[in-house]
Structure 1
Amino acid sequence: MDQLQPEKVIITGISKMQDNFDYSMQELAELAKANHYDVVGETRQNLDRASGATYFGIGKVDEIAELARANDATTVLVNDELSPSQLRNLEKQMKLHVVDRTQLILEIFANRAASKSAKAQVEIAQLQYALPRLHPSANKLDQQGGGGAGGLANRGAGETKLEMDRRVLNKRIARLRRELKEADIGAEVRRAKRTENKLPVVALVGYTNAGKSTTMNGLLDLFADHPETKQVFEKDMLFATLDTSVRQLTLPDNRKFLLSDTVGFVSKLPHNLVDSFKATLAEAANADLLIQVVDYHDPHYPEMMKVTEDTLHSIGIENIPMIEAYNKADLRADTRFPEENGNQLIYSARDQASLQRLTEMITSRIFADSQVNTYLIPFAQGSVVDFINRETGVIDTAYEENGTRIKTTVNPIQAGKLRQYLIED
């Protein structure tokens, strides 16, 4: 928002017999704050289903409008995605700006997108959201935000103009998808180069603001060369970053793996947005190991875990080994950490002992098929020695009459490349 004072809003929703309705409304308030709104009031309605015309019952619509005016609020946030007709009817009856949950999340993503790919992905989702909401007499595209949609407000209406707007939006979506496809080809090439020697890939996934970036930065501090130049952005806010960051970590024994930090999830994440971000989440889809980072301090963490798992399932990320990493244990007075139990770890991303334990859990899984071999490399084959020192986990080196004797940890692909130099230890 460009205003000096944040826009005042009322948050609203209907229960629809939801078990986690209280949490969902609390999260809506957090989303509002993340978009720099000032929440000045809240109202709820206990209904089994929404009204087809106005989402709320008629009496509730009047009550919301009165509450908004009493608190000088100019916008009403609704905790569900509204149909185009519901949105128009509510705005007409309340004479207030209405933003549904989907549009709110899209606005946050649009404000946070930094890379060209992330911006394109968000804009596609915004345009897909806007398409069915084009209306010959009340085009709200100027209020929807999002790149190419901004200049398409329909002033002076008419069916011909409406169809033209739809064609323009569809063309823009098609062009953005082509650009993303080209960008994805480039990303695939980079992924192929990174994994040329079969470096294992570990992906951090989880709910927004669970501590994925803090975990990544903690591991970089321990195991990256010049970690200060490789830190990823972290902040105590929803959707602090939308771009996937990939860094190489080198362990003390010289074994290496790639660690990626992915976009966070939230309940009721817009379907179009999830679909658009499949390319961004490709690092997770191609990972050898997932680490689901959980905000263990938040009492709603079981719901957050279910949202994460459902979202991963919806984009086809399945059957990848996972560590459940329960973060922020330092904020719970009743909890000891680090504590490991099978594939679960209770830890704090700001505690070095916790990060060391997490690293041990990672390495025991991604290097499970590694082997310790001894090689004798002729002195004339210096490039092979360089490869071993650079890419494998060297344990011991000795110089003998016939060449350099190296004991090292290798993965199956590296073992295949070095087979001709293998000797009995």
Structure 2
Amino acid sequence: MTKEETKEFEKAILVGCQLQSEDEGRFGYSLEELKSLTKTAKGQVVMTITQKRERIHPATYIGRGKVEELLQLEEELEPDVIIFNDELSPSQVRNLSTKLQARVIDRTQLILDIFASRANSKEGKLQVELAQLQYLLPRLTGKGIELSRLGGGIGTRGPGETKLETDRRHIHRRIDDIKNQLSVIVQHRERYRERRKKNNTYQIALVGYTNAGKSTLFNRLTEADSFEENLLFATLDPMTRKMILPCGLTTLLTDTVGFIQDLPTSLIAAFRSTLEEVKEADLILHVVDSSNPDYFNHEQTVHKLLDELGVESIPILTLYNKKDKKHPDFVPSSQSSSILVSAFDESDLLFIKTTIEDTMIKDMKHYQVSLPSTEGRLLAYLKQETILKELHYNEDSEKYDCTGFIFPNHSLTGQLREFYS
């Protein structure tokens, strides 16, 4: 890291408390994840301190001795921010901020900060501001000193920061205003979904743990330009693009925000309208990073959140991504149909698309028709909106013999009846 890059990064001390009932590996991984989150938020971790306790200290999260150790480290390392690996209560934030000079933030505030820096659309910005205000509202009491120094840096970014020093009534009014604006956007999104449904467009949603490679796969499958980088929450705003299958059928593929363990409930609530895209999908592609040692927990986290969204009836195809870097202990889950792929392998991308075709066929109806040459428009529709398996011109009958599969409720079904051979 160069001197110029170091200046841009804020120095951070991470603090974690492991309960005696908590698994050692899981705790270690959650700290590694906190480091990645800090890096994503442009922070440089200078020290990590941990403590093992029977229960979280109600006043200061960690015990008195560890607080004293933290004070000495703060004097020695002069960090800009101290980040705690759990959601702190309002009183814990207040007590720690009184003792420490650096800004005190928790895991939730760090994630909110990353979301604030990633939001580009109006809806995304409003959703983040709503989540920030709902998070900060119970923490306003007695926070005059801390709020006065929220001038910039990790945990202070986003559209909500200018509202933090106003009174509760103003914040409540702002929350109501945001909810009203979001309801208008949600209604527009619902109308757009209805239009897609009327057009009989097959919809596919990409879901997965953050940094699993969803955006990379999205770009390769659709030739789009979604932002992709080796950072947590590189994608925040959902993006939908056309994806053409090998048979010629056009589908819609949506890239969604990545999930994470202990995702703040305020964020899940705020982004529920965005995640509705998943509920409306005909197929869910669940992307799992096979190179990550904690891939199984990631998979379980996503399944849990999908259950909360109520998508049990939607078929799921699991894509175990990054096969060229897969972890030595990796074993595919048998919970659903799955394939091992690399987003950079052209043959794998083709295999994903043909597997999608095979999945679609299970819900489709077989057709075999003979179309006269005058029905060129109908033939073009069959290529775009059905899975056309065979097409050849019959010189004897002077007709096009077509064999394929179509969804039973598709508008073309009625038009095909008179041409069945």
**2:407 matched residue in structure 1:** 411
Q: Which runs of 5+ in 1 are unaligned?
A: 155-164, 221-226
SS of the aligned residue for 2:110 comes to helix
Whole-angstrom CA distance in 1 between matches of 2:15 and 2:331: 39
Deviation string, structure 1 residues 344-380 (Cα, Å, up to 9, x no partner): 2122111122222222222211232323423455677
Tell me the distance in 2 between the aligned counterparts of 1:384 and 1:353: 31
Deviation per residue, 1:67-94 (Å, 9 max, x gap): 1221121311000001111001001012
Partner Cα distance (1:109, 1:238) in 2: 10
Q: Are the equivalent residues in 2 in contact too, given 1:200–1:366 (CA < 8 A)?
A: no
Quote the offset at 1:121 in angstroms: 0.8
Aligned to 2:16: 13
Q: Distance in 2 between matches of 1:40 and 1:233?
A: 29
- CA separation in 1, counterparts of 2:208 and 2:298? 8
Q: 1:209 aligns with which of 208, 211, 224?
A: 211
* Aligned: 1:349 with 2:343: yes
Q: Is 1:250 matched with 2:256?
A: no
What is the aligned partner in structure 2 of residue 374 from structure 1?
A: 368
**Aligned partners of 1:393, 1:309: CA distance in 2, in Å?**
30
TM-score, with normalisation over the residues of structure 2? 0.88
Q: Give 1:185's match in structure 2, choosing from 184, 187, 193.
A: 187
Match of residue 158 from structure 2: 146
CA distance in 2, matches of 1:176, 1:279: 13
User: For 2:212, what is the secondary structure of its paired residue?
Assistant: coil
1:78–1:100 CA contact under 8 A, matched in 2: yes
> What is the letter of the counterpart of residue 361 of structure 1?
T
Equivalent residue letter for 2:409: I
Q: Is the 8 A contact 1:125 1:273 kept in 2?
A: yes
The runs of at least 4 aligned residues of structure 1 exceeding 4 Å deviation read 139-142, 333-342, 376-383, 399-404
The question of whether the paired residues in 2 share the 8 Å contact of 1:126 and 1:145 is answered with no
Query: What is the CA-CA distance between 1:42 and the residue it aligns to?
Result: 0.7
1:416: Cα distance to partner? 2.8
CA spacing shift, 1:5–1:342, aligned 2, 3 Å: closer
Q: CA deviation at 1:419?
A: 4.1
Instruction: Give the alignment of 1:77-96 within 5 angstroms.
Output: 77-96=83-102
Which moved further from structure 2: 46-55 or 408-417?
408-417
Counterpart Cα distance in 2 of 1:60 and 1:336:
37
Contact 1:377 1:421 in 2 (8 A): no
SS in 1 for 2:313: coil
Q: Does 1:293 align with 2:290?
A: no
Say if 1:279 and 1:336 are closer, same or farther in 2 by CA, change over 3 A.
closer
Q: What's the CA shift for 1:141?
A: 4.6
Q: Is residue 44 of structure 2 the alignment partner of residue 38 of structure 1? A: yes
Report SS of the residue matched to 2:8: coil
2:138 pairs with 1:128:
no
- In structure 2, relative to structure 1, the CA distance for the partners of 1:380 and 1:346 (3 Å cut) is closer
In structure 1, how many angstroms separate the alpha carbons of the residues matched to 2:333 and 2:301?
Answer: 24
1:396 is matched with 391
- Cα separation, partners in 2 of 1:249 and 1:151, compared to 1, 3 Å: closer
Q: Is contact 1:197-1:413 (8 Å) kept?
A: no
1:266 aligns with one of 248, 260, 263:
260
**Equivalent of 1:200, from 199, 202, 221?**
202
- The farther-off stretch of 330-339 and 134-143 is 330-339
For the aligned residue pairs, the C-alpha RMSD in angstroms reads 2.8
CA contact (8 A) 1:233 1:240 kept: yes
Q: Is 1:98 matched up with 2:104?
A: yes
One-letter code aligned to 1:215: L
Q: 3-state SS of the aligned residue for 2:273? A: coil
Q: TM-score, length-normalised on structure 1?
A: 0.87
Partner of 1:170, secondary structure, is helix
Q: 239-248 or 385-394: which moved more?
A: 385-394
Given the alignment of the two structures, is residue 29 of structure 1 paired with residue 35 of structure 2, yes or no? yes
Cα distance in 2 for residues equivalent to 1:172 and 1:50? 34
Q: Paired residue for 1:114?
A: 120
SS in 2 for 1:45: strand
Q: In the alignment, which residue of structure 2 is the partner of 1:157?
A: none
